[in-house]
Amino acid sequence: MDNREQQERREARRKRRLKNQVIVYIVFLILLLVLGTGIGYGVFALTKSREAAEEKEQDRQELIEEMLVTEESIPSVEPTPTPEPEVTEPEVVEPTREEKLEAYVDERIAQMPLEDKVAGLFVVAPEAITGVSACVRAGDSTKGALEANPVGGLVYFSKNIQSKEQLTEMLSNTAQYARYPLFMAVDEEGGSAVSRIGSSIGPKVDSAGDIGATGDPQNAYQAGAAIGSAMWELGFNVDFAPVADLANVEGSIMQGRSYGSDASAVSGFVTSMVNGLQEQKVSACLKHFPGIGSTTEDTHDGMVSSDRTREQFLAEELAVFQAGIDAGADFVMVSHMGAPALTGNNDPAIFSRELVTNILREQMGFQGVVITDALDMSAISAYYAADEASIMAVLAGCDMLLMPEDYEKAYTGVLEAVRNGNIDEERINDSLRRIYRIKYADMVE
């Protein structure tokens, strides 16, 4: 190879080196340019960020200064304390007197054994449980008799009365001996026909017939108040009066004992007598439901029936009883008279569920004590055994059984009827509630 070729090769290599160097320089310059641009942008962004932060801080300082100025211009006010939440006591509803009485009565009945419950349905003469011929005092024999036979009430007659002092002491002792409160009853209508205490120790008041003839019901009120005051002082708390019957047929069995024959007029006298008695704390007993004045025969002697129509009974006799019920009479006495227009048969009224429960209790609204007329009267005793009559009366709706011919037999019969399910015990409880609402009425406020 000659020198010319070598020279050319060296020149070519030199040019390639120069070219490569130029490329390197250009790339380097580009990199420097990019780097410089990035650094410049970064510096610019950092500066802007710093400026924004400084502006934000300045704004914050200005806001704080404004708040401080505003706060200084506001008067200082003490913070209102948060009130304690008011505690509301639950409202206590005070039970009514009636509710208290119901609770009291239910509690007492719940504590009674069945034997005592059944005995509590009976009102008997004291001789029926003591065995003596005429009770005129109450001592150990009476105490023992009441312990063995806690009857619901005792009824007294003229043979039991010797003097005011004797009667007062006997009734007081008897009441103290009783395990449960007693109804102490007497027939005191006024006049002379049916007057147990008035005929011997007073007070003496006119008969219902004479009072009715005056035309002034206020006279019946005064008679009731006089009788009631005397009875309460002696120790009685139930009077089997007033007579609410109408003497509305010639020869009426109630002539003289009734206030008259006009239902409207008699209603006023009956209402006044009820008020006079019960204002003296003596329970009144309307008798003889549904009204026996339309007969001329006596149930003491045998069966008696009335031919009054249902319409007549409703318009007249029952209107008088309704007036007495509305006046608040505690008792209604049901008679032994047959009233087929009301009951559908000639059976004694005390055995009629239609009459006692449907009419008297439900239709007429009587909520007091329904008591039978005396079960030893011939209208009953001549045709029915003592236990049979008592059971039938209870099933009809009667609450109390007055003077069965044989108390022990009647009591045992009713007790056994409850035990074997023929009479529901709750039926007995219902009667006792009505009885004890009266007996315990003054024991709650």
Q: How far apart are CA 376 and CA 382, in angstroms?
A: 9
Q: Report yes or no: 349 and 299 within 8 Å, Cβ to Cβ.
A: no
* Type of residue numbered 109: I
Active site annotation includes 336:
no
In whole angstroms, how far apart are CA 366 and each of 325, 348, 354, 394, 430? 6, 20, 14, 16, 14
Within 10 Å of residue 35's Cβ, how many Cβ atoms? 10
Q: How far apart are CA 351 and CA 343, in angstroms?
A: 9
In whole angstroms, how far apart are CA 180 and each of 51, 106, 239, 440, 442? 106, 14, 20, 10, 15
Catalytic residue among 239, 373, 387, 399: 373
Q: Report yes or no: 100 and 410 within 8 Å, Cβ to Cβ.
A: no
Q: Which residues pair with 324 in a beta bridge?
A: none
DSSP 13-47: HHHHHHHHHHHHHHHHHHHHHHHHHHHHHHHHHHH
Greatest pairwise CA separation for the chain in angstroms: 191
Catalytic residue among 300, 326, 406, 430: 300
Orientation angle between helical segments 425-439 and 386-396, nearest 10 degrees = 80
Q: Report yes or no: 349 and 338 within 8 Å, Cβ to Cβ.
A: yes
Q: Report yes or no: 187 and 196 within 8 Å, Cβ to Cβ.
A: yes
Q: How far apart are CA 115 and CA 120, in angstroms?
A: 9
* Type of residue numbered 370: V
Contacts within 8 Å (CB) and 24+ apart, 95-100:
97/444, 97/445, 100/444, 100/445
HSE-CB for 186 with a 13 A CA cutoff: 28
Q: Which residues pair with 188 in a beta bridge?
A: 195
Both tokens assigned to 190: 């006024």
Active site annotation includes 373:
yes
| Catalytic residue annotation | 300, 373
